[in-house]
Amino acid sequence: MFGVAGCKDGTPAANGDTASAPTASANAAGNTSSGDYQFSDAQKDATDYTRDANQKVLGELDFADKTAFADVDRGFIAPLPNNGDIEGVFSATKMNFMQDKDAPATVNPSLWRHAQLVNRGGLYQVTDHIYQVRGQDLVNLSIIETDNGIILYDIEYFADTLAASIKLYEEHRGKKPLKGVIISHSHADHFGGFDGIYKAGLATREDFSSGRIPLIAPEGFVKESVSENVMAGNIMARRAGYQYGNVLEPGPKGSITAALGAALANGASSLPIPNKSITKDGEKVTIDGVTFEFYLTPHAEAPAEMVFYIPQWKALSMAEELNHLQHNIYTLRGAQTRDASVWASYLGAALARWGKDVEVNFGPHTWPVWGNENVTKYLADQRDLYQSIYNTTLRYANYGYRPDDIAESAALPKSVFNEWNNRPYYGSTKNNLKATYVRNLGWFNGNSTELAKYPDGERGKRYVEAMGGEGKVLDAALASYKKGDYRFTVDLLNNIVAYDGSNKNVNLLMADAFEQLGYQEENALYRNLYLSSAKELRMGGSVPNALSTISPEVIAALPADLFMSYISMTVDQTKAEALGDYTVNVDLRGEGKFRLDLHNGVLNYLQGYSADKPDAALSIGKTDLIAVAAGKAKLDDLAGNGKAAITGDKEVLNKIASVFDNGMKNNMNLVLPLQPENQIK
């Protein structure tokens, strides 16, 4: 468990609660008896079908292999402070319930085993010079000790968890000066905790803005971070809350693990701006006596990512390119689809480059691997994993198989996919095969039916009518549920839910089917999404969401060009189209000048240009412009107190200010129809 080395070996048993006895109830349509099924909003036990499916897993994988249970506790020094609990942010204690226990019927035994390994934490020694705090957030904090201080490598998602991790390290290794920060890639769980450095008293903002303390990230880090975490941040954070199980209660019928770590901390991330970018392979940087060799690995796990090797210690970090699990080619929270073949090539290159010498690999997720033979096997097995996904997809596609068919029927080598480190705890093999098809061939599968499909709601209405109404669909779905075909149950019921979320019994049956799918899942993200969807259906939607990557502070921290890109995106174009065409010069005080062209309802911008005869000109700071765009400040008031300067026709500026869309909420439904208050008016 958290802070305790030497957990039970993790051998699961498919025992657990017995299925509850259903009772008769009439359905909402009023014309069908439910027989021995009871519609209720209570969580259910595992059905016999689920129990049997999970029992079968015990014979498919090598549960006698206990190697990982020794490795995961190696180097343990001390438990997390307050057992890892930070009120309202993170609870390691709640994610500890699986330790020293057998798997219940409501959890896939393989996923239970992985949770026992990854849901633990504390301060660990990796080598004489490298330490990690694991289990305080989704990401490990790695602390690299230099001649006279420390370097922080990947800094968690939330400031409070990072500050707690730093405190734990200092309690056992002493307070040391901060000599540098390294961020491996452009995903918020690796950099969002940056403000925790200030909370811990390790540096000031001026230390980084001046370059006195190097803040190193890969080329394209800011652009890709903004693209993923800001421009699409609202919907991505919502989906992430379901994916990581943040909307669920931990427990055998709820959240088990986030696979890469126990859980993602609740809260808003920050956005650091690097003062040093790695722009070429093999670039060497020495920080206080420690030399790093950096290599860029874009468009595998992240669009901007890098790995490094420390020759003097024979220590490698493959960042998030190498994990004790199969990763995502397409992440369910939403992001650019990744390249499995390129991913494999980076792992192969690492083998060729460092395979003769490397003695340890440590990364921002899961646990390290020690010994040359073990590290090289780890690299080779994961190389084979991603290359197999790529090769299999393209070979089957060239025969004419469609993506869903490839995902369901492709034959894959067991020596690759039954390896514990390659199991689909985070990335689903089916999802990865489909994603590789889409990356290389696009969403269209060649069947023109796909081109003619109605949107879900309109399609659903027609299917329900063809089947004889909602009562008939519910009958068919209930029959499917009773046969253990939960996939078809949710598929049938989605035809109703897509256009009508008010049929209570439809929602409850769909929730029950999602729940059984979640109980059977080996993939943590699928489990969390299924169970989160069940929660949404049972509570009628509007599930609260505490995650955010687009706070006003993050937006204000954006470089000027990316800031204007965000402002441009927020314009309601149909309202703007009615205004007519205007040209405005904007001086973002101290950060750049822009020419804005509102044309055909689209707000275009050019940095470094000015119109000779603009309709208006505005001088304003970024923070104040954010307030205007959010409807929290008026230009006239800002001009009156000197926070803005306006020349030309100020009504043009007021008109443009009136079409910024500030109605985005972060509690949108993902299964039920979009709530009226969340719809664009």
State pLDDT tens for residues 553-590.
Answer: 778 888 889 889 989 999 999 999 999 999 999 999 98
Q: Taking the CA atoms of the chain, what radius of gyration do you get in angstroms?
A: 26
8 Å CB contact between 331 and 240: no
Q: Give yes or no: residues 491 and 579 share one domain.
A: no
Cα diameter, the chain: 78
Q: Encoding tokens for residue 148?
A: 């006279």
Q: Give yes or no: residues 371 and 305 share one domain.
A: yes
Strand locations in 318-435 (E): 360-361, 369-370
Give the pLDDT confidence score for residue 136 in this predicted structure.
96
Which residue is associated with the tokens 């660990």? 124
Q: Give yes or no: residues 172 and 99 share one domain.
A: yes
Domain at 510, CATH number: 1.25.40.880
Question: Which of residues 539, 565, 599 is at a domain's end?
Answer: 539
192 in any annotated domain: yes
227 in any annotated domain: yes
Tell me what the mean pLDDT of segment 37-57 comes to.
96
Question: Which of residues 354, 383, 412 is at a domain's end?
Answer: 383
Q: Give yes or no: residues 246 and 340 share one domain.
A: yes
264 in any annotated domain: yes
pLDDT in tens, 268-323: 888 899 999 999 999 999 999 999 999 999 999 999 999 999 999 999 999 999 99
Domain at 69, CATH number: 3.60.15.30
Domain at 621, CATH number: 3.30.1050.10
State the total domains in the chain. 3
pLDDT in tens, 514-543: 999 999 999 999 999 999 999 999 999 988
Strand locations in 288-443 (E): 290-296, 306-310, 315-317, 360-361, 369-370
What is the residue-wise DSSP string for 423-474?
Answer: S-SSS-HHHHHHHHHHHHH-S--S-THHHHPPPHHHHHHHHHHHHTSHHHHH
* Window from 10-24, 41-55, 344-358, 404-418 with minimum mean pLDDT: 10-24
**Torsion sign, CA atoms 434, 437, 439, 442:** negative
Q: Encoding tokens for residue 104?
A: 């219940």
8 Å CB contact between 166 and 181: no
* Mean pLDDT (the chain, rounded): 92
Q: Give yes or no: residues 218 and 173 share one domain.
A: yes
Closest CA to 606 of 664, 659, 560, 552: 560
Q: Give yes or no: residues 92 and 114 share one domain.
A: yes
366 in any annotated domain: yes
Q: Give yes or no: residues 273 and 330 share one domain.
A: yes
675 in any annotated domain: no
Question: Which of residues 539, 571, 588 is at a domain's end?
Answer: 539
Q: Give yes or no: residues 558 and 534 share one domain.
A: no
Q: Give yes or no: residues 134 and 272 share one domain.
A: yes
8 Å CB contact between 484 and 47: yes
H or E element that contains 405 = helix 403-409
pLDDT in tens, 468-518: 999 999 999 999 999 999 999 999 999 999 999 999 999 999 999 999 999
Tell me what the mean pLDDT of segment 617-645 comes to.
92
> Residue 637: pLDDT above 80?
yes
Q: Give yes or no: residues 263 and 133 share one domain.
A: yes
Measured distance CA(244)–CA(249) in Å, rounded: 11
Q: How many residues does the chain have?
A: 681
8 Å CB contact between 318 and 327: no
H or E element that contains 560 = helix 560-569
407 in any annotated domain: no
Give the pLDDT confidence score for residue 558 in this predicted structure.
84
Q: Specify the DSSP class assigned to residue 231.
A: I
157 in any annotated domain: yes
pTM: 0.90
> Residue 255: pLDDT above 60?
yes
SS3 content of the chain, % helix, strand, coil (to 5): 40, 15, 45
Burial class of 5 by CB neighbour count within 10 A (0 to 12, 13 to 18, 19+): middle
From residue 254, alpha-carbon distances to 249, 251, 533 in Å are 6, 5, 12
- Give the rounded percent of residues in the chain with a pLDDT score beyond 90: 82
pLDDT band at 32 (very low <50, low <70, confident <90, very high): very low
8 Å CB contact between 111 and 519: no
Measured distance CA(578)–CA(649) in Å, rounded: 18
Give the pLDDT confidence score for residue 3 in this predicted structure.
44
Q: Give yes or no: residues 491 and 563 share one domain.
A: no
- Give the rounded percent of residues in the chain with a pLDDT score beyond 70: 95
Between the CA atoms of 654, 628, 659 and 676, what dihedral angle is there, to the nearest 10 degrees?
-140
H or E element that contains 286 = strand 283-287
SS3 state of residue 133: strand
Q: Give yes or no: residues 490 and 633 share one domain.
A: no
8 Å CB contact between 645 and 636: no
Measured distance CA(421)–CA(418) in Å, rounded: 8
H or E element that contains 407 = helix 403-409
By residue range, what is the domain housing residue 253? 48-383
680 in any annotated domain: no
8 Å CB contact between 390 and 341: yes
